[in-house]
Each structure stands twice: as structure tokens, then as C-alpha cells.
Structure 1
Amino acid sequence: MIAASDPRLKGYPFVGQAWFPIIVCGAYLWFVYVAGPKLMANRKAFELRIPIMIHNAFMVVTNMFFFYKFLKNSYFANYSLFCQGMTYATDENSMEIVHWGYWYLLLRILDFFDTVFFVLRKKTDHVTFQHVSHHFCCVFSGHLWVTLGMDGQTLAGLCINSFVHICMYTYYFLAACGPQFKKYLWWKKYLTKMQIYQHIFLVFHGVVPIFYDCGYPKFFIYLGVPQGLLGLGLFLNFYVLAYSKKRSAIEDNVKSCASALKDEILEQKVALKAEQLKKHE
């Protein structure tokens, strides 16, 4: 049974207001694809290292806080990791979950600044469909989840997602610190793998209530699983394109070096042969 709006969040700003995600996500797309490029058309890229570092540090700390809160009030309480229903309970743990779930949605809106920084720094190659659609879906569907009910089987996704964001923004923070920190960024590839594994888990975990009735509304499964599959496909595509190209470039470089070395050895042999012929003369 799904309530028209979660009564536990009655009085919270924007909850149940359909215009809110439309305006917020619409403004995001408008800036990224229209206003931002127009603003930067005849300008040099902004130097935003300090604001980016502050933003990333803030996101690391806040995601750590949410990760702790979600775990403490769910799986460290009485939640089932296998299948957890939705009850709209008003006990202390449940109220904590929906309260911080609401604030977690607002935090995900701040993820939009990742793209804003790309636009202002003219890093247009970073503004991919995968990047933009991921942020868009998190906020748009997140608002629906907050409105209808944030607890239950959904909590596994919130716990994993907040942990992934801790790792992600830690990487972004180190990357913004300057080239001297490049040696600490060897794990970028594994960060993408983590995103892929996250979506694989969420898809399989999300379909459990279809086969095992634990009181979790089917509506949320039909909403969440396709989104998880979309995210999985996009991150897999990004991984293949990003790292197969790098591998191809490395292989080309190795072949080029091998060819140059072969030519050099051949030249040395020719020179040595010529020198030997001169001696015989």
C-alpha cells in the first residue's frame, strides 16, 4: 500500500510538490546546455580550484554523516538486508530515516555543481549524457521517493550510494589539489568499477520483493530497477570507452616504440656492416 504522500514528512518544504523537481532539474539542464555554454562562449575558462576543493571536502564530510545515519537507523537496528518492507512507522529509527532521507535529496541537488564547474571551466568533454542523466535521475526520482516513502528496501541503495559518494568526492578533492597529487589518483579506474558494482547490486537487490513478499510496494521496484539498469548500462559504456581507448593508446605507443627501436637496430647493423667493408678495403 502506497500513501499519496508520506505523512511523516508533512510540513517539510517541497515534499509532494510536483513543480519542485521539474523546476530544479529543468534549471540544471537549461544552464548546462543553454545558458552555461552561451555565458562561456567568449570567455576564458574560470580558475575554480579553491571553490571546487571546498565543495568536494564538504561533500565528503556530509556523505560520511549520511552513511553513518542510514546504517545506524536501518541495518544496525532491526532492518533485513534481504528484504525490508515499508510500514510508514513512526518509531525513532524510522523517523530518523525519513528525516535524513529528505536532507539527502537536497544534498544530491548540490551534485549539480559538479557539472556547473565543468561548464565554467570549459571542460565540455566531461559533460556527457551519462554524467548529466545520472544527476538528473537521482534528483527527479529521489523527490518521488521522499514524497511516497523513503524507508524499506530503498535503504540499501542510500547506504551504498552515500559510501560511493564519499569515495568519489575524495578522489575529486585530491584531483583538485594539483598535479603533485596525481600519484595518489591511480584508483580512478576502480572508482568506476565501484559505480558499476553498485548498480548491479541494486538491480538484483531491488527485484527481491517481486519473488519474496516482505511488504515493499511493487511500484518502487518498477521505478527503481529500470533506473538501475540505465545507470549500469551508462557506466559500463563509459568504462569500455574510457579504458579501451587508453589501452589502445598504450598499445599504439608500445608498437611505435618497438618500431623505432627496430629501425634503430637496423641502422646500427647497416653502419657496422659498412664499417667492416671499409676495413676490408
Structure 2
Amino acid sequence: MSGLRAPNFLHRFWTKWDYAISKVVFTCADSFQWDIGPVSSSTAHLPAIESPTPLVTSLLFYLVTVFLWYGRLTRSSDKKIREPTWLRRFIICHNAFLIVLSLYMCLGCVAQAYQNGYTLWGNEFKATETQLALYIYIFYVSKIYEFVDTYIMLLKNNLRQVSFLHIYHHSTISFIWWIIARRAPGGDAYFSAALNSWVHVCMYTYYLLSTLIGKEDPKRSNYLWWGRHLTQMQMLQFFFNVLQALYCASFSTYPKFLSKILLVYMMSLLGLFGHFYYSKHIAAAKLQKKQQ
């Protein structure tokens, strides 16, 4: 009997949890005048779309785990650890997988946009474009998987990388793409998904090379000199997204509230990445020059 009670208990718990989370999310969306309903027929049948609870649960687990893990590491006296072989192999596979997945999503979104006769911006969402909706859905799910990036940083005891910018970006982008995948997985959303996927091809290629080469390899600078330009590419991406949001909010039939969310969000990322770029590449260079 105990074996039967556990599934029933979990089912009742999830039902109540789902009701509470959904009520909070949809109430907040209404207060912001975000028209996140109805669910698009092109993605309604897919997991973690109709209800926000699977995503929110993943987000809460991510944030609590990172907070507790980070706190434990900051209190630890052993700041330097030897990277185990299994972790290095996992990082290589993780980065290689995301390179292939990002390229797949980028090319898929571009190909569908071409087949559907899209212009650069100003494209209407159509629920009949199910293949593009599938690419958008995969892109949304990939944002949840990318939480692993943070876990890798913590496993490596690399606390410097676990910054406010990193946590903010990873925790918010998945929620925004849940709204897009739920409400309008197509139309103008193709541009952001394709552009971000291409940037991630470059980013995870950099991470893969960094892992393969190693920190002490004298050839490191020959292959990884373009790290600064990678940040510039990310900032250029956000700039194009800001322009897209301004254009679509004025001229596109794509849901206006999504264009407004995109505008505010990309401006915040542009500011945060700009501060990061200045601190790492400009201010640090000035300080080094003074010390010389």
C-alpha cells in the first residue's frame, strides 16, 4: 500500500503546487498587461508549455542550489581544486553538444524564415508554421539546460564567473522564452532565436577550445585571442535586438507586449554586458598601464 500512496501523494502535491504557481504567474502577467494567453496550438501539446510550473520549479531549484552552493564555497578555505578527469570530459561533451544544438537551431530558424517568406523584421506569427514553432520550443528548452553552465563553474570552484550578470541572464531568459514559446512561437521571434543561437555557437566553441587547450598551454593565446571580440559580438547582438524591438513595437503585427519585453530586457543586458566589458577589458588595461 505504501508504494501506491507515494505516487498519489506526489500527484496531490504537484496539483496544489501547480495551482499556486500558475495563479501567481498569471496574476502577475495580468498586472503587467502581458497577454500570455491563449496557448498557441502549435506548441500546446508539448511539455512545460501550458503551465509555468515546470519552468518555475526548475528556476527555483536552480537559484536555491546556486545560492547554497556558492555560499558553501565562499566559506571554504580550499579555494584551489584539481579539476578531475570526469569533469573535464563532461565539460568537453557539454560544450560540443551546445555547439551542435545551437547551430541546428540557428540554421533551422533561418531556413524556416526563408521558406515562409519572412523579411528581416515585421513578420506575423502564424500557428500553422509548426516547424518554426518546434525550433522555438527547442530553443526555449535549451535555456533550461544551460543552467548546467553555472553548475560547471561551481564544480570548478570558479566563483568569479558566477556573477550577478550570469545568474540574472540565465534565470530570466528562460522565463521570457517560455512566454514566447507559449504565446507566439514564430514570426519575429525567429530573429532573436537565430541570432542568439549563432552567438552561442561562437561562445561554446571558445569554451571548448579553452578546455581542450588548458590554462598552462603556451599555445593558448594563439587560439583564444578573440575572447574580447566574443563579448563585443554579444553586445552587438543586444543592440540589434533593441533595434528589432523598437521596429516591431511600431510596425509589426507580432504581439506588442513581447516586443516591449524584448526592448526592456535587451537594454538591461546591454548595460550589464557593457559594464562587464569596461571592467574586464578597458579599466583593467588602464590599471595595468599605470602599474607599468
TM-score normalised by the chain length of structure 2: 0.80
Partner Cα distance (1:246, 1:40) in 2: 24
Aligned with 1:137 (options 152, 164, 172): 172
Alignment of structure 1 residues 13-162 onto 2, 5 Å: 13-35=47-69, 37-38=71-72, 42=76, 45=81, 47=83, 48-75=87-114, 77-88=116-127, 90=128, 94-162=129-197
| In 2: Cα distance, 1:109 partner to 1:2 partner | 20
Cα pair distance change 1:130/1:11, threshold 3 Å: same
Deviation string for 1:194-249 (max 9, x for gaps)? Answer: 0100000001111112332x311111112211111111111101001111233124
Per-residue deviation, 1:21: 2.1
Task: Please report the TM-score for the alignment, with normalisation by the length of structure 1.
Answer: 0.83
Counterparts of 1:202-221 in structure 2, within 5 Å, are 202-212=241-251, 214-221=252-259
Residue of structure 1 in register with 2:232 after alignment? 193
Aligned pairs, how many?
249
Q: Which has the larger radius of gyration?
A: 1
Mapped partners of 1:187, 1:215: distance in 2: 39
Q: Structure 1 residues 76, 248: closer, same or farther in 2, change over 3 A? A: farther
- TM-aligned CA deviation for residue 32 of structure 1: 1.0
Q: Which amino acid aligns with 2:272?
A: L
Gaps of 5+ in 2: 1-34
How much identity, in percent, do the aligned residues show?
27
The change in CA–CA distance for 1:246 and 1:154 in structure 2 (over 3 A counts) is: same
User: 1: distance between equivalents of 2:148 and 2:243?
Assistant: 31
Task: State the distance in 1 between where 2:227 and 2:60 align.
Answer: 30
Identify unmatched segments of 5+ residues in structure 1: 255-281
CA contact (8 A) 1:45 1:120 kept: no
Larger mean CA deviation between 123-132 and 238-247 belongs to 238-247
Q: Deviations over 1:142-186 (max 9, x none)?
A: 111111111111111011000000000000001111133512000
In the alignment, the residues of structure 1 paired with residue 74 and residue 272 of structure 2 have an alpha-carbon distance, to the nearest angstrom, of 28
Matches of 1:82 and 1:99, distance apart in 2: 20
Structure 2 equivalent of residue 169 of structure 1: 204
Deviation at 1:25, TM superposition (A): 1.1
